[in-house]
Structure 1
Amino acid sequence: MSSVASAAMDAGSRPIDPIILQIGEKKFYTTRQTIAESAVLSSLVNLRDPDPEKPYFVDADPALFEHILRYLRTGIFPLLHDVEKGHDVPLYHALQHQAEFYQIERLANWLLAKAYLDAVSTRTWPKSITLHGEQQLQHIDEMVRAAGRPFKILRIDESRAKVFQCPNRNWRHDGLRSVCINARCLPTHRASFALTAEMSVYKVELVILEVRVHQELVMPISEQPALPPPYQNTE
């Protein structure tokens, strides 16, 4: 049985014991059951009974401990990934040392194996769009229509030209006569009218990014309780 599952069983069979940890200059409010997976923290709190007025002190980095405590509460491995920058490898290394310091074997082994590299996959594909007028450029997120996916602009070329302009001054329709007709801004019998205006035209080259998180590698189902400890059987 995994240490996470054992901690969950303990949490369901014993009363919840709130404790205060002071990690460096910051206090953290948690329970004895939540930190059960850490041999160091468990040993520390077992030295005496919990006292709400007297926190257990560890001289360590509180910013890093936030990630450690989040893992202890949920059993979910930390993913420190940015769409454009990728994985925060130095932070992973720092957390590995912290996991080893607190003797959290499962987390330390996951970080040591760099399993986070397999937990996230990224693919990209190029796209070219033409924007008509400054309003469309300012709202490029809407105009790209990337189904909510992030994108990165590679190049923008600007020129001036006379292009179709929506008679209702809907900037989203500029340069897109068919869209304007479908939206009934432009009656069909006027579709051939030369409704043009001189404006900036932007040729935009970009790449659309798609990031997929493989949840089975971040939160193995076989090892996870139905709810994060210590909230089982507390009604």
Structure 2
Amino acid sequence: MTSAAPPRLAGKLTTLVIEARVDGRRALLAPRGELVHGCADTLAETLARLPAGIERVDLDMAGVAFTDTAGLQFLDVLNDHSHRRAVPVAATNWNGQPRRILELAGLDTTDPLHSTAHRPPCPRPGPGLAGVPAPARSAVALERSERLHDLEAEVEQLRHAIASRPVIDQARGILMATHGCTSDEAWHLLRETSQVSNTKLRTVAAAITSSAGTGGPPLPPALRAALRTALARLRR
């Protein structure tokens, strides 16, 4: 059984495909592609088609190469299914960029659905907090605020990346061929080069793509230096 989400931006997104098989009373789902707009609907359709009597659902996320904020909706659908059907659900084997998004969101990268399952409730202000100093509570709030800010910045960059996918995909291919790296590592190099040089990701990708063409302009010195730094960090 396989479900697929239609590519919402033709030629720019990799269609999400979810392969499903049943082993006894356990459903094994293997999503492949990208968690972008439409992925939550694809998951909901897959879950709805599972046979009656399923007592556990496991997702192997190793085949997911990219996610934006739709990935959180994907997890919401999975969590809702677990509560409505009263069945345990797990989503494991997150890698690359999707794993980074989970980290920025403060979720458990081994299984984000269980990140808050056993977390004690946040203490409320009042006389009962005599043993919890106010500065500690402020530090926790500050950490959460900073984490949210980092996540919002990352997601905003990802939105721009989706709109710029053709040139970014070309740049990734060039980096893979030039430096013998994987697709995930090429994405990492692009992001690191962008951050180190304080240059927009699309601008970095366009410069790399142009410089690879016959007679194309050389990579600007600042980007060349930033790329060297990114490569050094990757190979540590």
TM-score by length of 1: 0.27
Instruction: Say which structure is richer in helix.
Output: 2
TM-score by length of 2: 0.27
Larger RCO, structure (CA 8 Å, separation 6 or more): 1
Instruction: Say which structure is richer in strand.
Output: 1
